[in-house]
Chains A and B, each alone.
Chain A
Amino acid sequence: MFRNDFPYFQNSKTVYLDNGATTQKPKSVIDSQVEYYEQYCSNTHRSNFGHANKATQEFEKTRVLLKNFINASKNEEIIFTKGVTESINFIASSFAKDFETVIISSLEHHSNIVPWHMQGRTLGAGLEVVNCNENLDFDLEHFEELLKANPNAFVSITHISNAFGKIHDIKTIIKLAHKYSAVVMIDGAQSLAHFRIDVQELDVDFFAISGHKTFAPTGVGAIYIKEKYLKDVKPYQTGGATIHEVDYSGSILLDSPYKFEAGTQNIAGVIGFGKALEYINHIHYENILSMEHNVYKYLDDELKKLPNIIFYNDIKDSIGSRSFNFEGIIHDDIGILLDKMNIAVRVGHHCAQPIMKKLGIRGTIRVSTAFYNDYVDVDKLIEALKKALSMLKD
């Protein structure tokens, strides 16, 4: 029933199962973009005329919404970015670079690996990777060993694996990391589309948020920074709207969040992000979870019936993405044929090459669902997969 809130599904015959890459946008989000550009397009935090004030108010409204949404304690803890990639790069280069050791998991997206390589960190030389078992479960014992051997480390771990849908028990991970005086950043790119996040309950230090994977426009996201770190994090870009006073002898920066948001922001995107959060509040996470869980389980049951399918994890502690291959068939072939049958999935390494290499594969077929996907979508996918398999058999 919520599917009708998304114009994409009225305009497209595509069975959209690539929500791990980006989600569709509800009408209220799309309307907010048109409204901003058609009715009050102005810059924020600078000019003082009516429309500029409205733009600033709407922009800041999203900050308050997001603060409440993730239960941050202060507005200052919410910094807008262009997405999780920028959020992680920002914290990596402006704060975590001073830590001797960074600890990541085996299931990280490249955006939580490459920023550390850019600092010259490699495995065993400033970068440690927590093992996972054959079901891709996070190895808590190995994690604790790494924390013991590297006290005061910076831990940067994904909440939900984009490639496999595996959910990390971040509450336990954060608690354990803090026991060894580590600071923790969570890559929450896939989180908010599926789960309510409470940063205070989690006691997380940094939480990277994606807008476009959470029904908001592309090019917008955020980083939550726990208040106690706001003074230690350096702005990694400076310029307009970050400054209290400038002369040639130096600059005095504004306080957070403004000192971190240099230049004209993605104003429409941030406003749309607020509408997306309001939309989720409107439908409630309880509904999202129950709708998703049922379809995800049905997807798994139906996929299992296909011949020679290979999974890399079970669906316990997983959500959203389901990754698989078929014996003797390269994922690319399936991707091409599904596309011709109007089924949108992603095939490839999903920006997670290290775990693919560990599994001895070049990639997978990834079906990633959102709450608006239904049983009919799954049935169409399965029919298309059967057709593709019959075409590709020898």
Chain B
Amino acid sequence: MSTIEQRVEEIKEDLDFFEDELQKYEYIIDLGKKLEEFDEKNKIPENIVHGCTSQVWLTHKQKDGKLYFYGTSDAIIVKGLVYMILKIFSDSTIQELKDIDMDIVHELKLSEVITPNRQSGVIGMMKKIKEYALNA
């Protein structure tokens, strides 16, 4: 099983593959399409991620000491970002998630891809994940 760091590296490699910015976005849009269907009943205020210009919902399930995350957005590109974050952090132990100390925007070089407004949305997702881990 890969660690959070390994998964970050994998996503980063995938993103780095595209030199053309629009191709990178096409890839992110395609990632968003792979997101699992999000249960409509989970679109409640408690699951909203703060800091996003688009609406993002993030929820989780706990099993055998690990957290599994589920999320979606009303914006197609943001769905792709949600997919990346879930891919990296889902299926991690609570302790691993509590110990996260990374600047995910920097790690994934997202500042080259998304605007500061949207970067704060990604940071918001990270905060939410950490919050779920701390309260687990």
Contacts and interface: CB of A to CB of B under 8 A. Distances in A.
B13 interface: no
A330 B25 contact: no
A341 B115 contact: no
Interface stretch (B2-10, B75-83, B92-100): B75-83
Contacts of A387: 22
B21 interface: yes
Interface stretch (A37-45, A75-83, A331-339): A331-339
B114 to A, nearest CB: 7
B22 A336 contact: no
B26 interface: yes
A329 interface: yes
A245 B57 CA distance: 60
Interface residues of A, number: 14
A332 B54 contact: yes
Which of B21, B55, B75 has the most C-beta atoms of chain A within 10 angstroms of its own C-beta?
B75
B21 A340 contact: yes
B103 interface: no
B22 A339 contact: no
Interface in A324-353: 329-330, 332-333, 336-337, 339-341, 348
Given A339-B115, A391-B29, A333 B21 contact: no
Contact of A332 (B21, B26, B29, B75): B75
Contact of B29 (A348, A362, A392): A392
Interface string A49-65: 00000000000000000
A340 B25 contact: yes
Q: Is the interface of B mostly helix, strand, loop or mixed?
A: helix
Interface in A292-332: 329-330, 332
B62 interface: no
Given A330-B54, A348-B53, A336 B118 contact: yes
A391 B25 contact: yes
Contacts of B77: 332-333, 336-337
A336 B74 contact: no
Given A337-B22, A340-B25, 9 more contacts: A330-B74, A332-B77, A333-B76, A336-B25, A336-B115, A337-B77, A387-B22, A391-B25, A392-B29
27 contacts: A329-B76, A330-B54, A330-B75, A330-B76, A332-B53, A332-B75, A332-B77, A332-B78, A333-B75, A333-B76, A333-B77, A336-B25, A336-B77, A336-B114, A336-B115, A336-B118, A337-B77, A339-B115, A340-B22, A340-B25, A341-B22, A387-B22, A391-B22, A391-B25, A391-B26, A392-B29, A392-B76
